[in-house]
Structure 1
């Protein structure tokens, strides 16, 4: 099962494949980012994680 590294929300394998990094990790998802940020690549950057 895949989860968002920012909010620990569930993400699908397809979401990780499309929006994640080369290590199959995502640092944002629709639960903690808006879709514009996700579509612009913020989900694949660790620096996008907000605390």
Structure 2
């Protein structure tokens, strides 16, 4: 089962395939970011970059 690396919310295998990074990780999903951010690739940013998003 895939989960968001930021908020822990379930994400589908297809969501990870489309919006995840090369390590099959997602660090942002529609539960913790808006879809514009996800579609711009921010959901695939590496955790090692120290980036964490929260919804205001």
For 2:53 and 2:32, how far apart are their aligned partners in 1?
9
Identify unmatched segments of 5+ residues in structure 1: none
User: Partner of 2:32 in structure 1?
Assistant: 32
How much has 1:50 moved relative to structure 2? 3.0
SS in 2 for 1:32: coil
CA RMSD across the alignment: 1.4
Structure 2 gap ranges (5+) = none
* Residue 46 of structure 2 corresponds to residue 49 of structure 1: no
TM-score (norm 1): 0.91
State the TM-score, normalizing by the size of structure 2: 0.83
CA distance in 2, matches of 1:20, 1:50: 15
SS in structure 1 opposite 2:38? helix
